[in-house]
Amino acid sequence: MSDLSIQKGFFDASRLSVAPMMDWTDRHCRYLHRQLSGRALLYTEMVTAPALVRGNALHLLDHAPEEHPVALQLGGSDPKELAQAARLGFEAGYDEINLNVGCPSDRVQSGTFGAVLMKSPGLVAECCAAMIAAQPLEVTVKCRIGVDDQEPQEVLPEFLARVASAGVGRFSIHARKAWLQGLSPKENRDIPPLDYELVQQMRGLFPALHLSVNGGITTLDQVEAFLDAGLDGVMVGRAAYHQPTDILAAADRRIFGTTGPDATAEGAVRAMLPYIEAHLVAGGRLNQITRHMLGLFAGRPGARVWRRMLSEGAHRPGAGPRLLEQALVEIELASRVASV
Ligand SMILES: Cc1cc2nc3c(=O)[nH]c(=O)nc-3n(C[C@H](O)[C@H](O)[C@H](O)COP(=O)(O)O)c2cc1C
């Protein structure tokens, strides 16, 4: 496969992506999501460049071959350190390196990375140029539309132009500002208003860029509507985590045009069993995986029993795949009762 077709492949994959989410999109979560969609692009949690380069925490790069296509999200603002971290990501086998310019947490602000970098497009461009020069993978950026009292109409196009001039061709835009003073990271995902219209305008202004919209998208219908309206990609965060089946199970057919049958929650559970077994044999705990599986049956008969059985049972000593098999029986019973 030529380099170009590899890049094209990931352009396609990013028609639908699952957003990077700290503590949520770890390797077990990504493995689960991959059982529901073979095609959507998956992002890691943010890994900071200092942790990799200074802390030598290379275990943070661990992932399974089945997760591809998978992008590594980095946090940082030192071009040299980010370049080294990007190189490590390439060597670890990731498909894309993404820079976090959207996270508003205090810890991140004090290290000068995340959303505060919206104020320093020149530095972001320098970081991206260094990451591009250090390794062959595509470097992408996830950003906000602005921070604090910035005027998004002005700063977003300036930011995109400046960073694109460093060689970045693909952006995911969380379509709301981050307010760095006074709001918690959680509030910063809900309170600043969404401005999808502005992202659409950027689509018109920068026809050569690949732009994904992110923020507040909760159904596959909405994903399709954004793609139909001309956006290149849609990134879904919380909804993909809490209702993974709703967002991902039909995605290969509806978003990527494949012809096979849609995935099912039951199928995903069964596909997870050997993975879980191997995790337990290696000394891991069941709950480390099942905590990401609680929403698999969201909205379906038996969803509550499923959640309860997993949340209560997965901590118990000796808990293993059998618990999931028992919970699946409950789902089947609940479905039968509901259809009578
Ligand atoms: C628990 C959690 C952790 C997050 N961690 C990250 C992160 O590590 N990097 C990042 O760029 N965004 C992070 N975000 C923001 C999401 O990627 C996304 O931009 C945001 O949730 C809005 O999308 P949504 O409305 O589809 O959830 C996080 C969000 C949540 C809920």
Summarize pLDDT for 224-239 with one digit per residue, the tens: 999 999 999 999 999 9
For ligand 1, the distance from its centroid to the CA atom of residue 181, given in whole angstroms, is 18
What residue owns the CA closest to ligand 1's atom 18?
Answer: 237
Helix (H) or strand (E) holding 209: none
What residue owns the CA closest to ligand 1's atom 5?
Answer: 21
Query: For strand 96-101 and strand 138-143, is the pairing parallel, antiparallel, or unpaired?
Result: parallel
Query: Pocket around ligand 1: residues whose beta carbon is below 6 Å from it?
Result: 19-24, 45-46, 73, 100, 102-103, 142, 174, 189, 214-217, 236-239
Q: What is the mean pLDDT of the chain?
A: 94
Token pair 């699952």 is found at: 18
Best CA proximity match to 108, nearest among 74, 81, 76, 80: 76
How far from the centroid of its chain's Cα atoms is residue 323's Cα? Answer: 28
What is the pTM (predicted TM-score) of this model?
Answer: 0.96
For ligand 1, the distance from its centroid to the CA atom of residue 257, given in whole angstroms, is 27
Exposure on the CB side of residue 27, measured as CA atoms within 13 A: 14
What DSSP designation does 261 have?
A: P
For ligand 1, the distance from its centroid to the CA atom of residue 237, given in whole angstroms, is 6
Look at phi and psi of residue 325 and say left if phi exceeds 0, alpha if psi is from -120 to 50, else beta.
alpha
What residue owns the CA closest to ligand 1's atom 2?
Answer: 21
Token pair 């508003």 is found at: 104
pLDDT at 10: 56
Residues 218, 194 contacting (CB under 8 angstroms) = no
For ligand 1, the distance from its centroid to the CA atom of residue 186, given in whole angstroms, is 9
Q: Is the pLDDT of residue 71 over 80?
A: yes
Substitution candidate for ligand 1 out of 23, 25, 73, 103 with most atoms within 8 A of CB? 103
Q: Is the pLDDT of residue 5 over 60?
A: no
Place 199 in a pLDDT band, splitting at 50, 70 and 90: very high
> For 275-322, what is each residue's pLDDT tens digit?
999 999 999 999 999 999 999 999 999 999 999 999 999 999 999 999
Name the residues annotated as catalytic.
103
d(CA 279, CA 257): 33
pLDDT at 33: 98
Q: What percent of the chain has pLDDT over 70?
A: 95
d(CA 277, CA 268): 15
